[in-house]
Amino acid sequence: MEQVSVACATCAVRNQAICAALDSAELTALSRIRRHQHLSAGQTLAWEGDDAFVVASVTSGVLKLTKSLGDGREQIVGLAFPADFIGRPFHSKTTNTVTALTDTDICVFRRSDFENYASDHPQLERKLLERTLAELDRARDWMTRLGRKSASEKICSFLIDISERLSADTCIGATTADEFELPFGRQQVADILGLTIETVSRQLTALKRGGLIDLSGRRTIHILDRTPLVEAAETFA
């Protein structure tokens, strides 16, 4: 049996990334077409509308996916966390601009190389399909959040979502994220949720006063009691 590369063997998200579907020999073959890339916060990996040359798997950090509006503004349409997959195999154009919100590490593959590999490994194609369907469900949840929920419900469900996305059952054990740092400022939270920054600040303060969360500085969130916060995502007034 071939030896798995050190990078793959020590990857904290190996159990959750798309490569979790592969055995040791297949993972070794995949590692031959990958390269590691580090992105500094603010660095862009891909631009909307450009030719899609690469796809990638996130190993650490958080990225934002944005669409350009006609007046030059941008709309955040998604976030990519560790173990998420970026890019669309078998698609020639980049559909979103992808930019690192924090210092980020990714495994990068030439799109053509990855497509050839995936075509020979049906289990990897199935994993990609599962990820695509999960992203579709997440997009529908996002639409519900923006269109039907109150401001307080939006903030509560957003905090739960970020907390869960930053948690992981990794190859080094399960982790929790009852304390985490938002990878963006309150203005970006407001942009994501269709709120004003003043509303975001008021709602966070209300949650703190209600004993559901605690705040340290501008970005660190402490979830003090998860169950009431989950319930508040639907019923908080």
Chain segment 1-37, per-residue pLDDT in tens:
445 566 777 787 877 888 887 888 888 888 899 999 9
* Integer Cα distance of 159 and 161 in angstroms: 5
pTM over 0.85: no
CA distances for 124 relative to 15, 23, 116, 129, 150, angstroms: 14, 11, 11, 9, 39
In DSSP terms, which residues pair with 55 in a beta bridge? 109
pLDDT at 103 exceeding the cut of 90: yes
Residue 76's pLDDT band (cuts 50, 70, 90): confident
For 149-235, the fitting CATH number among 1.10.3720.10, 1.10.10.10, 2.60.40.10, 3.50.50.60 is 1.10.10.10
- Of residues 122 and 202, more confidently modeled: 202
What's the burial of 138, exposed, middle or buried (CB within 10 Å: 0-12/13-18/19+)? middle
* Integer Cα distance of 83 and 166 in angstroms: 10
For 6-135, the fitting CATH number among 3.40.50.970, 2.60.120.10, 3.40.120.10, 2.30.42.10 is 2.60.120.10
Residue 178's pLDDT band (cuts 50, 70, 90): confident
- Of residues 40 and 127, more confidently modeled: 40
Q: Are 6-135 and 149-235 the same fold in CATH?
A: no
Unique residue bearing structure tokens 């303060």: 205
Ordered by start, the domain boundaries in the chain are: 6-135, 149-235
61: which 2 tokens?
């950090």
Residue 236's pLDDT band (cuts 50, 70, 90): very low
pLDDT at 174 exceeding the cut of 60: no
Mean pLDDT, the chain, rounded, equals 85
**pLDDT at residue 37 in the model:** 96
